[in-house]
Structure 1
């Protein structure tokens, strides 16, 4: 699998570190739900947004949308919202 980095171009997945589901929101301090946030995950098939860190490259945080069934990368953008593809 190859991920398009906005700064480095198309790179192999071995240059990146998976950092989790981009659609989850951490519960506020003192609010119930931390157990669910940490341990309970849906294993959805199809299109999904994830956070990836370019650890062996420019150190950018990316939000990558990919199909979890085919591993096709549908979009990659900087995690702070600037679109790149």
Structure 2
């Protein structure tokens, strides 16, 4: 699998470190929302947004949109 870093260009997946799903942080201080954010994860088949770190490159954090069934990468953007 190859990822296209917005700063470095196309690179082999081994340059990156997978951090998990790119999750939206909950607003406010609702304990149930934070419990779910910290501990509950889905394992969907299909399109997901993942957080990757370009460890052996520029050190950028990336959000990678990919399909878990076909492994097709449909988008890469800088995490912000």
Shorter-chain TM band: 0.7 to 0.9
List runs of 5+ in structure 1 lacking aligned partners.
81-85
Which stretches of structure 1, 4 residues or longer, exceed 4 Å deviation after superposition? Answer: none
Residue in 1 aligned with 2:67? Answer: 67
Higher helix share: 2
- Over aligned residue pairs, what C-alpha RMSD do you find? 1.6
List runs of 5+ in structure 2 lacking aligned partners.
none
Residue in 2 aligned with 1:39? Answer: 39
Paired residue total: 79
Residue in 2 aligned with 1:19? Answer: 19
Question: TM-score, normalization: structure 2?
Answer: 0.84
> Following TM superposition, by how much is the alpha carbon of 1:28 offset from its aligned partner in structure 2, in angstroms?
5.3
